[in-house]
C-alpha cells in the first residue's frame, strides 16, 4: 500500500494519521475518498482545477472514449472524460458503441469504455450490436489495444454492472491490455467516476511526457448549464390534477412546474430529474426498528438524503456483519430496509445505520410538454406506485412524494436525451408507441409539431387498462385528431374485454399501414415500460417486417437494425 511521503504538505502527526487510515482502507473506500476529495477541492477551492498548459498537437496521444448508454449517464461521463483528456494532452474522440465496428475497434490504441447495464443484465439498446460482435467467435484480436472499463449500474439489480464486467473480461480475452482495474459504479457514480477517470487517464498517458498537466475534475461542469442533481432547482407546482378516474385501478397525475429562471432549456424527449424526499412515517419506522427513535438529526437525513427503501444483497451482508443476522442470499428480493431491521431485531448506532444506507437517488420523468407551447413550464405525467410485497403495503418514494406529499415545489434538474428527439426534418412522418405513462413525451412531441407547423404525419398508439378511467390526455388527443395535427390514433385497453389487448396487438392489426409508414421513412418512437411492453413491441415489429416484407426472421432483424441505425427506431424505456 503506497503511503504519504514525509514530504507531503502535512504535519508529521497528520501524515501518520492519514497513513493509518489508508493502510486500513478497502479499495472501495479509497475510490470513494479520492472522488470526495476531488469534488471537495473543485467545489471549494477556486485554484483547484486550473487548466493545464496546452500540449503541442504533435505529441497528442490518441484516445477513444467508447460509451454505451440508455439514459445518458455514460454519455455524460464520456464527455467529461473527453474534456479531462484534452487537458492532459490526449487527442480524445468520443464514440457511441452504435457507431463502431470490430475492425475499427481492433485498430485503436487507447480506449476508455464506459457502459451501463439495463433490463436484466442487458446492454443499452444502442450497444446491442456492439456486444454481439464483441462476443462473437469471429471477433478480432485486440492486441494493440490498451483499455480500462467504467461500468455503470445499480446495486439493487442482481446483475450489477454486468455489461461493464462482460466487456472488461472480453477485451482481456481478446488480447487487449487492461491498464487500470474496472470500477463498478452504483447510482451515486459522479464522484467515484470522476476520480477513476482522472486516475485512469494518468495511467493511460504515454510515458516520457512532462507531467505538467493538472488532473482536472469537472464537478463544476454543469453549474453553468443549469441545475444539477447536487444543486437542483426548486420548481413551483402550478397545476396538479389526477388524470385517471376515481374508479381506476391506477393513479396517474398531471403536474405542471414553473421553471422560469432555472436555466432548464429542455427539448421534447428530455426528462426531468426529481430529487425526492422519503415518507417521514417510514423514516420514523426505520428509526424505531434500529432503536434510534428520537434522533432528530438522523431523522432529517433519513427523510432527505438516504435511501431507506431499496435493499441490496450487499446491505444484507453488511448488516449480517454487524448483527449476525444471515438470511439466504436472495432474501433481499422484494424486501426493503425496514424488513431487514425488523427481522434482525438489533439496535444500531446512528453511524452504523447511516453507513448501511445508500444515498437517495433521483428519479426521472419524461417531460410531457414543449416550451414552444407552454413557455417556461415543464409538465410531467406521474403514476403513483403502490404495491404489496412480503405482506406489507409499499409506496414508491418519488411518485408518492410528487403526487401525495408535495409541498408546492419540487427539486428538479434536466436529464437531456439526445437520442429521443423529433426528426430534424419536419416533413418526416412519426409513429409513437406510448402505453401508460409512456405517452408523456408524445404530448410534448405533438405540442412541438403543432407549434412549429411540422408537415409530417403523426400516428399514436396508446394503451392502458380501461377506456373510461385511464385514457390519459384523452381530450387533447381528440383535439389534435380534429385539427389534423394527429393523423391517426389506435388504442388498446387491456381490461375492457375478456381477452387482454395491448398496443402490440393493435400494431399487428395495423401491420400493413405500419410497414408502409416505415417504408415511407417514418421514425418510430417507443416509450414506457421496458419489461412488460418494449420487448413485446420489439418482437411485434420484427413479425410485422417479416410478414409485410415476405422475409424470414433474420431479414426482418436486419431491416429493423437498418431502421435503427438510420435513427428511425428510438426508444426511451424504463
Ligand atoms: C428516462 C425515464 C423516464 C421516466 N418517465 C416516467 C414518466 O413519465 N412517468 C412515470 O410515472 N414514471 C417515469 N419513469 C419511472 C420513474 O423514474 C420512477 O422509476 C417511478 O416513478 C417509480 O419511482 P418511485 O420513486 O415512486 O418508486 P421507487 O421507490 O423507486 O420504487 C420502485 C421499486 O419498487 C419495486 N416495485 C415496484 N413495483 C413492484 C411490485 N409490483 N412488486 C414488487 N416490487 C415492486 C421495484 O424494486 C422498483 O424498482 C421514468 C424513468 C426513466 C428512467
Ligand atoms: C429499467 C432499468 C433497468 C436497469 N437494470 C440494471 C441492471 O440489470 N444492472 C445494473 O447494474 N443496473 C441496472 N440499471 C441501472 C442503470 O445501469 C443505471 O441507472 C445507469 O446509471 C444508467 O446509465 P446510462 O444513463 O448511461 O444508461 C437499470 C436501470 C433501469 C432504469
| Across 19-23, 74-78, 124-128, least confident range | 19-23
Same domain assignment for residues 200 and 325: no
Whether residue 540 has pLDDT greater than 90: yes
What's the rounded Cα separation, in Å, for the pair 33 and 382? Answer: 36
Same domain assignment for residues 90 and 199: yes
Q: At what angle do helices 27-44 and 190-204 cross, to 10 degrees?
A: 100
Number of domains in the chain: 4
175-212: buried (b, 16+ CB within 10 Å) or exposed (e) per residue?
ebeebbebbbbbbbbbbbbbbbbbbbbeebbeeeeeee
Same domain assignment for residues 439 and 560: yes
CATH number at residue 495: 3.40.50.80
Measured from the alpha carbon of residue 402, the closest ligand is: 1
98-110: buried (b, 16+ CB within 10 Å) or exposed (e) per residue?
bebebeebbebeb
For the record, the C-alpha cell of 454 comes out as 411540422
Q: Determine which residue's CA is closest to atom 10 belonging to ligand 1.
A: 382
What distance in angstroms lies between residue 220's CA and the mean position of ligand 2's atoms?
A: 25
Same domain assignment for residues 373 and 435: no
Q: Determine which residue's CA is closest to atom 18 belonging to ligand 1.
A: 363
| Across 51-65, 231-245, 293-307, 486-500, least confident range | 51-65
Domain hosting residue 321, numbered range: 280-359
Whether residue 158 has pLDDT greater than 80: yes
What's the confidence (pLDDT) of residue 460?
98
Same domain assignment for residues 355 and 367: no
What's the confidence (pLDDT) of residue 279?
97
For the record, the C-alpha cell of 282 comes out as 417510514
Q: Determine which residue's CA is closest to atom 16 belonging to ligand 2.
A: 153
Same domain assignment for residues 62 and 187: yes
What distance in angstroms lies between residue 154's CA and the mean position of ligand 2's atoms?
A: 6
Same domain assignment for residues 520 and 564: yes
- Of 319, 343, 359, the residue at which a domain comes to its end is 359
What's the rounded Cα separation, in Å, for the pair 327 and 311? Answer: 13
Q: Determine which residue's CA is closest to atom 1 belonging to ligand 2.
A: 574
143-170: buried (b, 16+ CB within 10 Å) or exposed (e) per residue?
eebbbbbbbbbbbbeebbbbbbbbbbeb
Q: Is residue 51 part of a domain?
A: no
For the CA of 399, the closest atom of ligand 1 is 26
Q: Determine which residue's CA is closest to atom 2 belonging to ligand 1.
A: 364
Q: Is residue 123 part of a domain?
A: yes
pLDDT tens-digit readout, 395-406: 999 999 999 987
Do the Cβ atoms of 336 and 309 come closer than 8 Å?
A: yes
CATH number at residue 354: 1.20.990.10
Q: Is residue 41 part of a domain?
A: no
Same domain assignment for residues 327 and 474: no
pLDDT tens-digit readout, 102-124: 999 999 999 999 999 998 899 99
Same domain assignment for residues 216 and 134: yes
Q: Is residue 11 part of a domain?
A: no
Whether residue 222 has pLDDT greater than 60: no
SS3 of 432, please? Answer: strand
Same domain assignment for residues 131 and 193: yes
Q: Determine which residue's CA is closest to atom 38 belonging to ligand 1.
A: 387
Same domain assignment for residues 175 and 311: no
- Of 221, 248, 268, the residue at which a domain comes to its end is 221
Pocket of ligand 2 (CB under 6 A): 69-74, 116-121, 124, 152-154, 157, 159-162, 530, 574
CATH number at residue 379: 2.40.30.10
Measured from the alpha carbon of residue 119, the closest ligand is: 2
For the CA of 252, the closest atom of ligand 1 is 11
Same domain assignment for residues 231 and 176: no
User: First-to-last CA distance in the chain?
Assistant: 42
What distance in angstroms lies between residue 131's CA and the mean position of ligand 2's atoms?
A: 16
Q: Of 490, 519, 303, which is closest to residue 397 (Cα–Cα)?
A: 303
Q: Indicate the burial class of 230 (C-beta count within 10 angstroms; 0-12, 13-18, 19 or more).
A: middle
For the CA of 274, the closest atom of ligand 1 is 17
Find the mean pLDDT for residues 171-194.
Answer: 97
Task: Give me the phi and psi of 113, to 5 degrees please.
Answer: -105, 125
Pocket of ligand 1 (CB under 6 A): 71, 271, 309, 334, 363-366, 381-383, 385, 387, 389, 396-400, 437, 440, 572, 574
Find the mean pLDDT for residues 543-549.
Answer: 97
For the CA of 309, the closest atom of ligand 1 is 29
What's the rounded Cα separation, in Å, for the pair 282 and 394? Answer: 10
Measured from the alpha carbon of residue 250, the closest ligand is: 1
What distance in angstroms lies between residue 396's CA and the mean position of ligand 1's atoms?
A: 7
pTM of the model: 0.86
What distance in angstroms lies between residue 450's CA and the mean position of ligand 2's atoms?
A: 34
What distance in angstroms lies between residue 389's CA and the mean position of ligand 1's atoms?
A: 15
Whether residue 339 has pLDDT greater than 90: yes
What's the confidence (pLDDT) of residue 21?
84
Find the mean pLDDT for residues 122-138.
Answer: 95
Q: Determine which residue's CA is closest to atom 19 belonging to ligand 2.
A: 153
Q: Is residue 183 part of a domain?
A: yes
What distance in angstroms lies between residue 364's CA and the mean position of ligand 1's atoms?
A: 9
For the chain, what percent of residues have pLDDT higher than 90?
81
| Across 40-54, 85-99, 515-529, least confident range | 40-54
Measured from the alpha carbon of residue 417, the closest ligand is: 1
Measured from the alpha carbon of residue 527, the closest ligand is: 1
For the record, the C-alpha cell of 326 comes out as 444471515
Q: Is residue 44 part of a domain?
A: no
- Of 312, 344, 359, the residue at which a domain comes to its end is 359
Q: Is residue 27 part of a domain?
A: no
pLDDT tens-digit readout, 20-74: 888 778 777 777 777 677 666 666 655 444 444 444 555 689 999 999 998 889 9
Q: Which of 157, 183, 398, when mutated, tests ligand 2's pocket best, judged by the most ligand atoms within 8 Å of its CB?
A: 157
Instruction: Report which of residues 408 and 56 the model is more confident about.
Output: 408
For the CA of 276, the closest atom of ligand 1 is 25
What distance in angstroms lies between residue 101's CA and the mean position of ligand 2's atoms?
A: 24
Q: Is residue 568 part of a domain?
A: yes
What's the rounded Cα separation, in Å, for the pair 50 and 217? Answer: 10
Amino acid at each position: 500500500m503506497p503511503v504519504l511521503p514525509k514530504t507531503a504538505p502535512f504535519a508529521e502527526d497528520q501524515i501518520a494519521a492519514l497513513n493509518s487510515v489508508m493502510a486500513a482502507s478497502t479499495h472501495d473506500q479509497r475510490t470513494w475518498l479520492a472522488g470526495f476529495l476531488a469534488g471537495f477541492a473543485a467545489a471549494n477551492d477556486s485554484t483547484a482545477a486550473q487548466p493545464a498548459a496546452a500540449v503541442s498537437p504533435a505529441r497528442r496521444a490518441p484516445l477513444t472514449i467508447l460509451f454505451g448508454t440508455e439514459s445518458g449517464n455514460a454519455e455524460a461521463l464520456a464527455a467529461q472524460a473527453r474534456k479531462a483528456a484534452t487537458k492532459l494532452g490526449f487527442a480524445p474522440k468520443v464514440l457511441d458503441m452504435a457507431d463502431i465496428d470490430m475492425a475499427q475497434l481492433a485498430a485503436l490504441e487507447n480506449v476508455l469504455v464506459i457502459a451501463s447495464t439495463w433490463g436484466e443484465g442487458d446492454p443499452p439498446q444502442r450497444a446491442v450490436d456492439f456486444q454481439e460482435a464483441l462476443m462473437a467467435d469471429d471477433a478480432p484480436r485486440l492486441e494493440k489495444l490498451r483499455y480500462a472499463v467504467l461500468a455503470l449500474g445499480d446495486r439493487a439489480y442482481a446483475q450489477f454492472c454486468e455489461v461493464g464486467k462482460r466487456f472488461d473480461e472480453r477485451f482481456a480475452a481478446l488480447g487487449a491490455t487492461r491498464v487500470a482495474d474496472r470500477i463498478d459504479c452504483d447510482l451515486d457514480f459522479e464522484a467515484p467516476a470522476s476520480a477513476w477517470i482522472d486516475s485512469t487517464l494518468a495511467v493511460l498517458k504515454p510515458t516520457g511526457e512532462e507531467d505538467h498537466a493538472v488532473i482536472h475534475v469537472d464537478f463544476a461542469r454543469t453549474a453553468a448549464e443549469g441545475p444539477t442533481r447536487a444543486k437542483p432547482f426548486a420548481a413551483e407546482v402550478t397545476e396538479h390534477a389526477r388524470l385517471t378516474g376515481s374508479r381506476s385501478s391506477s393513479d396517474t397525475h398531471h403536474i405542471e412546474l414553473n421553471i422560469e429562471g432555472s436555466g432548464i432549456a429542455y427539448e421534447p424527449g428530455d426528462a426531468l430529474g426529481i430529487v425526492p424526499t422519503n415518507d417521514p412515517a417510514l423514516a420514523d419506522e426505520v428509526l424505531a426498528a434500529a432503536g434510534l427513535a428520537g434522533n432528530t438529526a438522523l431523522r432529517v437525513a433519513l427523510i432527505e438524503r438516504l435511501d431507506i427503501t431499496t435493499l441490496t444483497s450487499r446491505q444484507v451482508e453488511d448488516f449480517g456483519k454487524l448483527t449476525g443476522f444471515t438470511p439466504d442470499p436472495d432474501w433481499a428480493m422484494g424486501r426493503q430496509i425496514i424488513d431487514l431491521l425488523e427481522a434482525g431485531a438489533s439496535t444500531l448506532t446512528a453511524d452504523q445505520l447511516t453507513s448501511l444506507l445508500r444515498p437517495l437517488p433521483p428519479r426521472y420523468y419524461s417531460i410531457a410538454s414543449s416550451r414552444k407551447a407552454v413557455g417556461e413550464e415543464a409538465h410531467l405525467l406521474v403514476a403513483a406506485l403502490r404495491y404489496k410485497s412480503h405482506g406489507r403495503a409499499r409506496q414508491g418514494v418519488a411518485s408518492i412524494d410528487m403526487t401525495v406529499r408535495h409541498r408546492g415545489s419540487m427539486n428538479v434538474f434536466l436529464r437531456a436525451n439526445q437520442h429521443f428527439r423529433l426528426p430534424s426534418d419536419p416533413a418526416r412522418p412519426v409513429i409513437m408507441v406510448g402505453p401508460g405513462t409512456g405517452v408523456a413525451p408524445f404530448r410534448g412531441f405533438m405540442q412541438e409539431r403543432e407549434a412549429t407547423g411540422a408537415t409530417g404525419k403523426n400516428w399514436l398508439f396508446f394503451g392502458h387498462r380501461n377506456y373510461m378511467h385511464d385514457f390519459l390526455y384523452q381530450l387533447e388527443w381528440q383535439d389534435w385528431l380534429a385539427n389534423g395535427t394527429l393523423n391517426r390514433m389506435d388504442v388498446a385497453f387491456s381490461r375492457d374485454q375478456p381477452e387482454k389487448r395491448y398496443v402490440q396487438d393493435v400494431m399487428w392489426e395495423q401491420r400493413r399501414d405500419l410497414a408502409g409508414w416505415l417504408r415511407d421513412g417514418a421514425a418510430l418512437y417507443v416509450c414506457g415500460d421496458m419489461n412488460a411492453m418494449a420487448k413485446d413491441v420489439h418482437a411485434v415489429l420484427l413479425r410485422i417486417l417479416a410478414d409485410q416484407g415476405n422475409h424470414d426472421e433474420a431479414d426482418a432483424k436486419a431491416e429493423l437494425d437498418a431502421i435503427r441505425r438510420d435513427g428511425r427506431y428510438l426508444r426511451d424505456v424504463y
